[in-house]
Structure 1
Amino acid sequence: MSDLYSRTDLFSEFDRLQRQMESLFGGLPSSLRSSRFGAFPQINIGTTDDSIEIVVFAPGVDVGGLDVAIERGLLTISGERKPAQGVAGDGTRTYAQERFTGTFRRAIELPQNADPDKVQARYTNGCLSISVGKRESSRPKSITVQ
């Protein structure tokens, strides 16, 4: 069994294969009710009576490099997370890497009652919070019975 590990760096091959698979399937849109396991950044989506609340967990991402856009009911979040400083340099072979580095793009299909003119986004402590307002016509209304 030791011959298998000495001939090739098995862990780096698995890492290379995983990166290729992520680049192949990385840009597919997901809806509010589905997500890809292991996608970066991870996303939580919720709703209130007035808005759709999205929290994007993206530590280590430069806020200046984040791009948030809404087009035809699709919210896209893209950016880049660079390698952490202080990582060992030349001569070090990586056999496991759990921290994602590189460019990313996530797409979320918004419901029809989302109002693209009422969007707010803020980045605090590694979390991008996006609030998308709902259209006035879709909000619950109280009806008085006479």
Structure 2
Amino acid sequence: MRKRECRFPSRSTAMSAPGPSSGTFDRLRQELDRWFEAARIAGERTLDAVGLASESRPLPPPSDIIETETDVHLLVDLPGVSAEAVDLSLTGQVLMLKAIRLPSPLLTEAATIHLRERLATTFERAIPLPVQVDADSVRAVVRDGQLHVTLKKSHCTQARQIPIQRGGDMGSPPPAL
């Protein structure tokens, strides 16, 4: 008697295998990824608040992802970062954000620093989007220390009302029950 081997599909296999439930698993994986990322960030912020943060890896800036009927909005706090210091790229459903906060021009050798909490740093973050978006209609604006990215939902992910016709109107009778 042969023993059946049970294997879990790899991430790449699971994502490429079409099927009725593949979308469900993709959404579950994305949600779990978001939970773990949120837990990691919350833990790092707590360590930072008590003075135990790691100097080697800066915290990602606070962000919100808001989905409306037609768009996905990403809001990222980037105080002290100019539009020229922000780099955005979109690959599939992942938005890659890179930003650089430069040191203040006031920081010279002649200056006396009494408090320094605004460090020059580089942020880099891959942000998974909740739905497919149209890569050709992405808009991004930096204003008042906040990056606002607007991504139009792909027309295949936007909700669309489907009219229901009576059986006789379509030219053939409805199937018998």
Between Structure 1 and Structure 2, the one with more strand by share is 1
Q: In 2, Cα distance between the equivalents of 1:99 and 1:124?
A: 19
Q: Among residues 121, 127, 131, which one is paired with 2:150 in the alignment?
A: 131
Query: What pairs with 1:1-146 in structure 2 (closer than 5 Å)?
Result: 31-32=33-34, 34-35=37-38, 36-37=41-42, 38=45, 39-87=59-107, 89=109, 97-146=116-165
How far does residue 108 in structure 1 lie from its aligned partner after superposition? 0.2
Q: For the Cα contact (< 8 Å) 1:61–1:82, is it kept in 2?
A: yes
Q: For the Cα contact (< 8 Å) 1:118–1:132, is it kept in 2?
A: yes
Q: In 2, Cα distance between the equivalents of 1:43 and 1:97?
A: 24
Q: In 2, Cα distance between the equivalents of 1:86 and 1:112?
A: 43
Residue by residue, what CA displacement relative to the aligned partner does 1:32-67 show, whole Å, maximum 9, x if unpaired?
554323323211111001111001110101211210
Q: In 2, Cα distance between the equivalents of 1:78 and 1:55?
A: 14
Give ranges in structure 1 of 5+ residues lacking alignment.
1-29
How far does residue 119 in structure 1 lie from its aligned partner after superposition? 0.7
Indicate the percent of aligned positions where both proteins have the same amino acid: 26
Secondary structure, aligned partner of 2:156: helix
- Counterpart residue type for residue 66 of structure 2: G
Secondary structure, aligned partner of 1:46: strand
> Which has the greater radius of gyration?
2
How far does residue 89 in structure 1 lie from its aligned partner after superposition? 4.6
Give ranges in structure 2 of 5+ residues lacking alignment.
1-31, 46-58, 166-177
**CA RMSD, Structure 1 to Structure 2 (Å):** 2.7
Q: In 1, Cα distance between the equivalents of 2:131 and 2:161?
A: 22
Relative contact order higher in (CA < 8 Å, ≥ 6 apart): 1
Q: In 2, Cα distance between the equivalents of 1:75 and 1:56?
A: 12
How many residue pairs match? The answer is: 116
Q: In 1, Cα distance between the equivalents of 2:60 and 2:119?
A: 7
TM-score (norm 1): 0.65
How far does residue 107 in structure 1 lie from its aligned partner after superposition? 1.1
- Counterpart residue type for residue 71 of structure 1: T
